[in-house]
A and B are shown apart, each in its own frame.
Chain A
């Protein structure tokens, strides 16, 4: 077999489409089997535009006359498959005839891969956005359950170190006759009322640095002086308490359901920690919590009762009236005080 014959056999069998074009006429002079397989039954002598409708022959001629090569792509259907073929024309000289070698590479797979990556990356991006949204919701939920600094610690280390906060002021509030109110009204009405009131309390608490830790039914508990220590923790709690009552009084004037609260405030130490394994919850406990909770039982309607330690921390903006001695714990009875805002000092607040 001659070299020329071997070359022709190779050209025919190769997986790349090869064709020779007469540059003068742009008619086909040769094409191999792969070329025929892709572009159908074609005859030697066919014009380039018969093969590729809308082919820009002027651009081809200009490019071949210039740098001698021209590349482009063509897309067509072969059976039901979308084929994309990259075409590379190279000028060649055969004795004195001007011809071009056309080499075609099947890049359909690359195009299919590109489509798949596009599709996949869009799915991943959408998922990422969803995960981000869910994460924000979880964060929002957790921030309702614990102070931000505690949440940050939990997020970073996966655990929360129990801490002793000393001193802080614990404010405990509940409503007189709550059980009867729940029975007397539609559950939706009660929940809506509590939402309204607790939202107002939260706003007041935020303003004065006395943040809610938790509300269970009609029992609302807030702390001042934690998680960050604050010198004016007692002022904060007393200011919030006075305004809780003021808010309720004003609200009662315009709302059909009248709410009457009582408040106990105690200063002292508390422990703050996340408690529980599966159903974990940020909790505070200790003497101040127990005392504040007990003190509220000694408060008259719409009044605030506090322990001595709390009262001693208050400035002239408040007056403390002794209420006698009570047993806050099993120890010796101790003096407790009713706290009121000093009328003169309260003006303008």
Chain B
């Protein structure tokens, strides 16, 4: 019988497999300070939308918790945070509302101004608004 010798490590060689520290693209959500900053944008947007007489009436009969929930997810997903709506979900959510291009434009303007007022750079605000614009056909009748 041969002795079963203990398996041993070979020198200090290491296989070049270090995959740690792989950098994923940094989202705007992270860039602008995560939830602590985004939460302020969300509440400000909530105020501005409700105060606006053009788009405000859409929220007349919606309870506060639901509006806030949607706004949180809306801003988070546009900025690459932890929420993402599928096109299908967006379409279904707005199916019963009569949203015109003018409504959409108003909301787009409010969104852009809110972002800029919270220190989001013009370039990044444009990126977010472009993401919003891309969904126009899903909600406008």
Q: Determine if A82 and B10 form an interchain contact, defined as CB atoms under 8 angstroms apart.
A: no
Q: How many residues of chain B get a CB closer than 8 Å to chain A's CBs?
A: 40
Query: Contacts A116-B68, A229-B4; is A159 near B15 (CB within 8 Å)?
Result: yes
Residues of A within 8 A of B17 (CB): 154, 158-160, 274, 276-277, 280
| Stretch in B57-65, B91-99, B104-112, B116-124 touching the partner | B57-65
Q: Determine if A227 and B7 form an interchain contact, defined as CB atoms under 8 angstroms apart.
A: yes
**In the bound complex, how far is the Cα of B50 from the Cα of A81, in angstroms?**
7
**In the bound complex, how far is the Cα of B5 from the Cα of A79, in angstroms?**
83
Q: Determine if A116 and B50 form an interchain contact, defined as CB atoms under 8 angstroms apart.
A: no
Residues of A within 8 A of B68 (CB): 112, 115-116, 119
Q: Determine if B7 and A229 form an interchain contact, defined as CB atoms under 8 angstroms apart.
A: yes
Name A75-106 residues within 8 Å CB distance of B: 79-82
**Cβ 8 A contact of B39, one of A82, A116, A127, A167:** A116
Q: Determine if B64 and A112 form an interchain contact, defined as CB atoms under 8 angstroms apart.
A: yes
Name A282-318 residues within 8 Å CB distance of B: 309, 312-313
Q: Determine if B4 and A123 form an interchain contact, defined as CB atoms under 8 angstroms apart.
A: no
**Cβ 8 A contact of A123, one of B20, B46, B83:** B83
Most chain A CB neighbours (cut-off 10 Å) among B4, B16, B46: B4
Query: Contacts A127-B82, A163-B8, A163-B10; is A119 near B73 (CB within 8 Å)?
Result: yes
Residues of A within 8 A of B81 (CB): 123
Interface: B86 (CB within 8 A): no
> In the complex, what's the smallest C-beta–C-beta distance from B7 to chain A, in angstroms?
5
> In the complex, what's the smallest C-beta–C-beta distance from A182 to chain B, in angstroms?
33
Residues of B within 8 A of A32 (CB): none
> In the complex, what's the smallest C-beta–C-beta distance from A274 to chain B, in angstroms?
5
Q: Determine if A164 and B10 form an interchain contact, defined as CB atoms under 8 angstroms apart.
A: yes
Interface: B88 (CB within 8 A): no
* Residue in chain A with minimal CB distance to B60: A80
* Residue in chain A with minimal CB distance to B62: A80
Interface: A10 (CB within 8 A): no
Query: Contacts A123-B72, A154-B17, A276-B17; is A313 near B64 (CB within 8 Å)?
Result: no
Query: Contacts A112-B64, A127-B82, A313-B1; is A120 near B7 (CB within 8 Å)?
Result: no
Q: Determine if A120 and B72 form an interchain contact, defined as CB atoms under 8 angstroms apart.
A: yes
Residues of B within 8 A of A277 (CB): 16-17
- Per-residue interface assignment for chain B, residues 1 to 23, with 1 indicating a CB less than 8 Å from any chain A CB and 0 otherwise: 11011111110111111111000
**In the bound complex, how far is the Cα of B66 from the Cα of A115, in angstroms?**
8
**Cβ 8 A contact of B13, one of A118, A119, A162, A166:** A162
> In the complex, what's the smallest C-beta–C-beta distance from B8 to chain A, in angstroms?
6
Most chain A CB neighbours (cut-off 10 Å) among B10, B35, B57, B64: B64
Interface: A113 (CB within 8 A): yes
Q: Determine if B1 and A115 form an interchain contact, defined as CB atoms under 8 angstroms apart.
A: no
Which 10 pairs between the two chains have the least Cβ-Cβ distance? A82-B64, A115-B68, A119-B69, A158-B20, A119-B72, A115-B65, A127-B82, A165-B7, A159-B14, A231-B4
Which residues of B pack against A, CB within 8 Å? 1-2, 4-10, 12-20, 35, 39, 42-43, 46, 50, 56-57, 59-60, 63-65, 68-69, 71-73, 76, 81-83
Q: What would 8 more interface pairs be, CB under 8 Å, given A111-B64, A159-B17, A166-B7?
A: A80-B59, A112-B68, A115-B69, A116-B68, A119-B68, A123-B82, A166-B8, A313-B1
Q: Can you pick out 28 interface pairs between chain A and chain B where the beta carbons lie within 8 Å of each other?
A: A79-B56, A80-B56, A80-B60, A82-B63, A108-B64, A115-B65, A116-B39, A116-B72, A119-B68, A120-B72, A124-B82, A127-B82, A158-B19, A159-B14, A160-B15, A162-B13, A162-B15, A164-B7, A164-B8, A167-B2, A167-B4, A227-B7, A229-B5, A233-B4, A273-B15, A276-B17, A280-B19, A309-B2
